């Protein structure tokens, strides 16, 4: 973990940030998972003192991502983001509570990529379990096949081969190859949290319940290790929302995704 506020020792600061994030764990599932020591080289934390607002700068993928989210009055978060905007990368993706993007101007231009919601699995998985031989676990040796699958099935995904090293990815196969995949963007047994991502079905295999089954299987696997399981989905993606609700997820918080570049 790296903080840039110089307020106090990092261990104490980390505890304060974690306590703040756990007040809304499904909103902050990504940030909680990125407190894992394995992610320390990729993360920079901006926080107010005392902690009533937190911004995560994550640099573990090709394009950095900024997370600035709140379930309360956004004034403190906007003030923090405006004051520290000069510390942000020149180009990044951003997950922002609606309205918080105003704190980036005039230093940055922001293009909204879509309105999204955070979902959380607050109870047991409700979808029926598939037969054991239907689901396979992907390893780094499957990286090329997974990249080919996402290029055809989910070109806008954030999948990179390194994802297969950071947490579990499950797949359903058929006679054409990979039919569906569910994986994780964030995975930390140490913090007891995971956030699902890169869930997709091959176009010619859609409508058969594959996404629901592979997502449910992944959640059952994760529930042996973590307490908080969340995911992000576009608010207008009715099919995906129905799929995740069938697994047992509930909508928790709205947010917007942006592509941000320096003015």
- Tell me the CATH number at 191: 3.40.630.30
Q: What is the pLDDT of residue 237?
A: 95
Q: What is the pLDDT of residues 45-83, one digit of tens each?
A: 999 999 999 999 999 888 999 999 999 999 999 999 999
- Total number of domains constituting the chain: 2
79 & 164 share domain: no
102 & 186 share domain: no
Backbone φ, ψ for residue 82 (5° rounding): -65, -40
Q: What is the pLDDT of residue 130?
A: 64
Q: Is the pTM of this model over 0.95?
A: no
Q: What is the pLDDT of residues 107-140, one digit of tens each?
A: 999 999 999 999 999 888 987 766 655 789 999 9
CA torsion 226→16→40→55, rounded to 10°?
Answer: 100
107 & 136 share domain: no
52 & 150 share domain: no
Q: What is the mean pLDDT of residues 186-211?
A: 95
155 & 220 share domain: yes
CB contact set of 137 (below 8 Å; sequence gap of 6+): 168, 169, 170, 171
Residue with tokens 């699958």: 149
Angle CA 237–241–247, to nearest 5: 150
Domain of 14 in residue numbering reads as 10-117
The answer to whether residue 250 scores a pLDDT higher than 50 is: yes
């Amino acid at each position: 973990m790296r903080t840039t506020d110089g307020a106090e020792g990092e261990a104490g600061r980390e505890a304060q940030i974690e306590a703040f994030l756990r007040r809304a764990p499904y909103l902050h599932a990504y940030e909680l998972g990125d407190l894992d020591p394995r992610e320390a080289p990729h993360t920079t934390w901006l926080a107010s003192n005392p902690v009533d607002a937190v911004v995560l700068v994550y640099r573990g993928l090709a394009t950095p991502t900024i997370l600035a989210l709140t379930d309360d009055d956004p004034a403190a978060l906007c003030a923090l983001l405006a004051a520290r905007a000069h510390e942000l990368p020149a180009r990044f993706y951003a997950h922002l509570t609606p309205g918080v993007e105003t704190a980036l101007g005039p230093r940055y231009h922001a293009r909204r990529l879509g309105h999204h919601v955070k979902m959380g699995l607050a109870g047991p998985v409700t979808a029926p379990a598939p037969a054991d031989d239907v689901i396979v676990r992907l390893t780094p040796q499957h990286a090329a096949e997974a990249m080919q699958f996402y290029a055809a099935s989910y070109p806008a995904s954030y999948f990179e081969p390194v994802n297969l090293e950071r947490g579990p990815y499950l797949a359903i196969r058929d006679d054409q190859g990979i039919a569906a995949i569910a994986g994780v963007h964030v995975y930390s047994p140490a913090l007891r949290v995971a956030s699902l991502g890169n869930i997709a079905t091959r176009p010619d295999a859609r409508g058969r319940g594959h996404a629901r089954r592979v997502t449910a299987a992944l959640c059952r696997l994760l529930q042996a290790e973590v307490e908080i399981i969340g995911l992000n989905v576009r608010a207008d993606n009715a099919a995906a929302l129905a799929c995740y609700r069938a697994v047992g997820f509930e909508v928790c918080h709205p947010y917007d995704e942006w592509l941000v570049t320096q003015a």
